[in-house]
Amino acid sequence: MKLIVPSLKYKDSFLDALMEFEKTKEAGFWKFPDETPRTLESYIERILNHSEGADLPDNWVPCTSYWLIDENNEFVGHINIRHRLNDFLTNFGGHIGYAIRPSMRRQGHGTQILKLALPKAAALGLDRILITCDKTNTPSLKIIEKNNGIFENECEQTGDLPTKLRFWIDLV
């Protein structure tokens, strides 16, 4: 397993995973609040720009994205490392967000993607990271705990959204 900068080399596998995500009706990391790119090329260009702080939707912060690729060169998942926090991220989103493609869940890939991302976050100058998950998301809770996440508190969300659990992971 390896984390790579998003690349067209994995286009077919990424698009297969995207179809899996779409079937689950989950909110997707591939969508943006202003305009979702129409091609994989423009999507990759946009997320690479985000790592430089360019082409960000309103209220977004710079973030670096990586793809988890397995030994068969298959796209397994995606992870974002946000360079800093704003008010929303402090309460609900954290420094890191990740997603494992549905067909590859419950195989330890979530734990692995977070483990591999922690040194990348440290290389961005972060001493510790905030990571959150829905209180109802037991698999994500376990991933965070396996990566030494220390529970801080819960944050209630508005409407029918589940409570967020907030954890810190020290990187130094």
| pLDDT at position 168 over 80 | yes
99 Cβ contact list (under 8 Å, min separation 6): 21, 26, 28, 29, 77, 78, 79
Q: Is the four-CA dihedral 134, 140, 9, 83 of positive or negative sign? A: positive
What are the residue boundaries of the structural domains of the chain, listed by start? 2-170
3-state secondary structure 64-84: EEEEEECCCCCEEEEEEEECC
The β-bridge relationship of strands 164-170 and 96-100 is unpaired
pLDDT number for residue 50: 92
Q: What are phi and psi of 170, to 5 degrees?
A: -75, 135
Mean pLDDT, residues 106-110: 94
**133 confidence band (pLDDT: 50, 70, 90):** very high
**172 confidence band (pLDDT: 50, 70, 90):** confident
Who has greater pLDDT, 131 or 17? 131
pLDDT number for residue 40: 85
Verdict on whether the full-model pTM lies above 0.95: no
CATH fold of 2-170: Aminopeptidase (3.40.630)
